[in-house]
Amino acid sequence: MVETILFFLFAGFAIACGISLVYHRNPLYSAISLVGVFLSLSCIYVTLAAPFIAAVQVLIYAGAIMVLVVFVILLLNLEDDKPRSSLTYLYGVAGGLGLALLAQAFFIFYAVSRAPKQAVNMDETVGRTLSIGQGMYTQYLLPVEIVGVMLLMAIIGGVVLARRLSQPQLELVVDEELDRRMESDQKDDYRISF
């Protein structure tokens, strides 16, 4: 009974954070709402007796992935967008799709509640932290290392793509900044650090 109450509590929090994620126009507020979704999902995993998946959810998604998302948002330097009134018909489409998704969720809840209950042997249940760790660092060590190298390559590529400016473009950016600061007498000064 307590697990059901906790499930509905965390699921409601995840839905509220998801609505907040879509509702806010500021991408930083949306990113914070996404962190709320990730944290509530990890709490749901704890109630389902999956502590390893819950810890991975917090460490990887709410931690590392969201830091990368916030860095991308800050690198894009987004300005305030003007609201578009030409897409108002999409609110009706979104409402209809949301109702269809809600009906599907209730159908799945009904089907699961009608399914016969089977006893679970906790000693033979796969997914424990010990069995996952042993598999990751013995049998699947090479794929784990390959994924680590690929993530490092993706981070380096993202930094290179975000900071790629040729020398004339860089000088133009520096000249515009000097004009903005009203320090145009320092243009073409080689001592100015980029």
State the sign of the Cα–Cα–Cα–Cα dihedral 134, 140, 142, 143. negative
- Residue 175, both tokens: 């000249």
Domain for residue 81, yes or no?
no
Domain for residue 169, yes or no?
yes
pLDDT of residue 121: 65
* 50-64, 138-152, 168-182, range with the lowest pLDDT: 168-182
Query: Which has the higher per-residue pLDDT, 34 or 187?
Result: 34
Domain for residue 88, yes or no?
no
Domain for residue 176, yes or no?
yes
CB 11 within 8 A of CB 47: no
Domain for residue 177, yes or no?
yes
CB 21 within 8 A of CB 37: yes
Residues 6+ away with beta carbon under 8 Å from 54: 42, 43, 45, 46
Q: Is the pLDDT of residue 125 over 90?
A: no
What proportion of the chain, given as a percentage, has pLDDT over 90? 11
Cα separation, 100 vs 84, in Å, equals: 26
Q: How confident is the model at residue 194 (pLDDT cuts 50, 70, 90)?
A: very low
Q: Is the pLDDT of residue 12 over 90?
A: yes
Domain for residue 59, yes or no?
no
Q: Calculate the average pLDDT of the chain.
A: 78
Q: Is the pLDDT of residue 191 over 70?
A: no
Mean pLDDT, residues 62-72 taken together: 81
Domain for residue 157, yes or no?
yes
Domain count across the chain: 1
Domain for residue 103, yes or no?
no
Domain that holds residue 172: 140-187
Q: How confident is the model at residue 9 (pLDDT cuts 50, 70, 90)?
A: very high
**Beta-carbon count within 10 A of 168 CB:** 8
- Burial-class residue 6 by CB neighbours within 10 Å (0-12, 13-18, 19+): middle
Query: Which has the higher per-residue pLDDT, 81 or 90?
Result: 90
pLDDT of residue 13: 93
49: left (phi over 0), alpha (psi -120 to 50) or beta: left
